[in-house]
Amino acid sequence: MKRRSERGGEAAARPDGSQGKGLGGAAAGALQPAAGGLLAYLQKFKIKRLLLDLFILYASVPFVIRLFPSLLRKFVYLNFLSYPFGVDFQKPEVYLNHTVNFYLTPEPGVTYGVWHSLPDSRRKEAEGKDPSWHEEALADDNPVILYLHGNGGNRAMSHRVRMAKVMSDADFHVLAIDYRGYGDSTGDPSETGFTTDVLFLYHWVKARSGNSTVIVWGHSLGTGIATNVARALKEKEGVTVDAVILEAPFTNIREAAATIPVTKIYRKFPGFEYLILDTMARADMYFYSDRNVQVLSSPILMLHSEDDGIIPITHSRKLFEIARNTSQKKDAIRFLSFPASEGYGHDHLSSNPELPDIVKNFLQSIK
């Protein structure tokens, strides 16, 4: 009887010494593959949903831009990215200790800020002087640069500060403007508004600079503003700007939008030209440098780095050919490229130690 009781036990030993699973163990084993399959399904579903959401977002952007051109203006101008943040624009000495800040009002409701960096030869003399002295200094025969920056940020951005320092160290006056809507300037950004702002600054400088050479120098987006200003002066006032320098220029904003890296993912999108490129005009953005240079009689120097990852150097080459072919003074149209090995990219041509001499030699050659 003892032997039968042992054989009839609930967990009787098997000949190989193992224990039986029982009903509970079998059920648990059956649930494990089922639970694993459910988790795999849910993960796969989440991935598919994520990919679908990304595709919907990607596909909707061109249509949203077409319906709301004002969004495209914000993206192009990027004035809301006022970097560096927390700048006290009334204390430019934090960035450039030979610089003064002032404001101009080109029209009611718009006031913009300007930093005036003095030439190296005038700095010691400037100590303790009031703003009127700095205005009078513009007539000291040192060349004056009106520096028109690109999109995004403000006049305190490091590469803009470096440009002002490099050129003022070389005995140039440098006036760096934050157009309406940028930095601490009031008003809303627009192409016509930018032109108005710079025209006002140009006349303000000319009224104080005597016989000093005044150069309109644009970088990136600022090159489009520079040629707009030079053309407006030529056609509306019969004024020829002493010199125009275009750093990393583009032919026009439509062609620039077709080649900048950020639009690469949309270039094969059905309706890319209609939905995005054509919307530039609906947003009142043109910046027709390729048309403007055809009517200018000002000497023009174009500068571009071969490794520019924002605006391809092909824009400069095309713009140079247009300007040179239509100019009556072909020797006054110059183009200088910088090798990719130097690594200047889009923003750092001022790192080239020869830049001041390049500009001085250009100005000397056009006298």
CA distance linking residue 251 with residue 268, whole number of Å = 22
**Closest alpha carbon to 190 in 181, 198, 199:** 181
Query: What was the pLDDT predicted at 48?
Result: 84
CA distance linking residue 201 with residue 146, whole number of Å = 8
How many C-beta atoms surround the C-beta of residue 29 within 10 A?
10
**Closest alpha carbon to 161 in 97, 79, 226:** 97
Average confidence (pLDDT) over 2-20 = 44
DSSP string, 320-353: HHHHHHH-S-GGGEEEEEE-GGG--TTT-GGG-T
Q: In what order do the strands lie in the sheet with 214-219?
A: 99-107, 110-117, 173-178, 144-148, 214-219, 243-247, 300-305, 333-338
275-296 per-position pLDDT tens digit? 999 999 999 999 999 999 999 9
What values do phi and psi take at 339, rounded to 5?
-60, 145
Residue 30 predicted with pLDDT over 60: no
Decide if 183 contacts 103 (C-beta within 8 A).
Answer: no
Active site residue 171: no
Average confidence (pLDDT) over 93-119 = 97
264-275 per-position pLDDT tens digit? 999 999 999 999
238-247 per-position pLDDT tens digit? 999 999 999 9
Active site residue 346: yes
**Range in 20-24, 193-197, 358-362 with the lowest mean pLDDT:** 20-24
Report the DSSP beta bridge partners of residue 304: 337
Average confidence (pLDDT) over 322-329 = 96
CA distance linking residue 170 with residue 179, whole number of Å = 25
Instruction: Calculate what percentage of the chain has a pLDDT beyond 70.
Output: 89
The most distant pair of C-alpha atoms in the chain lies apart, rounded to whole Å, by 128
Q: If pLDDT is split at 50, 70 and 90, which confidence band does 49 have?
A: confident
DSSP alpha helix (H) spans, the chain: 2-7, 22-67, 69-77, 123-126, 131-137, 158-169, 191-206, 221-237, 253-259, 272, 279-282, 289-292, 314-326, 355-365
180-218 per-position pLDDT tens digit? 999 999 999 999 999 999 999 999 999 999 999 999 999
Decide if 257 contacts 200 (C-beta within 8 A).
Answer: no
Decide if 115 contacts 183 (C-beta within 8 A).
Answer: no
Predicted TM-score (pTM) of the model is 0.87
CA distance linking residue 308 with residue 276, whole number of Å = 23
Q: If pLDDT is split at 50, 70 and 90, which confidence band does 50 have?
A: confident
Residue 224 predicted with pLDDT over 70: yes
Average confidence (pLDDT) over 59-72 = 94
**Closest alpha carbon to 96 in 156, 40, 143:** 156
Query: What was the pLDDT predicted at 135?
Result: 97
Query: What integer best gives the mean pLDDT of the chain?
Result: 91
Instruction: Calculate what percentage of the chain has a pLDDT beyond 90.
Output: 84
What values do phi and psi take at 346, rounded to 5?
-90, -30
Decide if 218 contacts 148 (C-beta within 8 A).
Answer: yes
CA distance linking residue 145 with residue 165, whole number of Å = 12
Q: If pLDDT is split at 50, 70 and 90, which confidence band does 35 have?
A: low
172-182 per-position pLDDT tens digit? 999 999 999 99
Query: What was the pLDDT predicted at 55?
Result: 86
DSSP string, 15-74: TTSPPP-HHHHHHHHHHHHHHHHHHHHHHHHHHHHHHHHHHHHHHHHHHHHHH-HHHHHH
**Closest alpha carbon to 140 in 190, 79, 55, 210:** 210
Identified catalytic residue from 173, 289, 346, 350 = 346
Active site residue 98: no
Average confidence (pLDDT) over 42-68 = 88
Query: What was the pLDDT predicted at 14?
Result: 46
Average confidence (pLDDT) over 336-351 = 98
Q: Is 152 left (phi over 0), alpha (psi -120 to 50) or beta?
A: left
Q: Is 145 left (phi over 0), alpha (psi -120 to 50) or beta?
A: beta
Query: What was the pLDDT predicted at 186?
Result: 98
Identified catalytic residue from 220, 289, 316, 350 = 220
**Closest alpha carbon to 363 in 202, 167, 222:** 167
Determine the residue type at 88.
Answer: D
Decide if 222 contacts 163 (C-beta within 8 A).
Answer: no
Identified catalytic residue from 304, 308, 316, 350 = 308
138-164 per-position pLDDT tens digit? 999 999 999 999 999 999 999 999 999
84 prior amide bond cis, ω within 30: yes
Residue 353 predicted with pLDDT over 60: yes
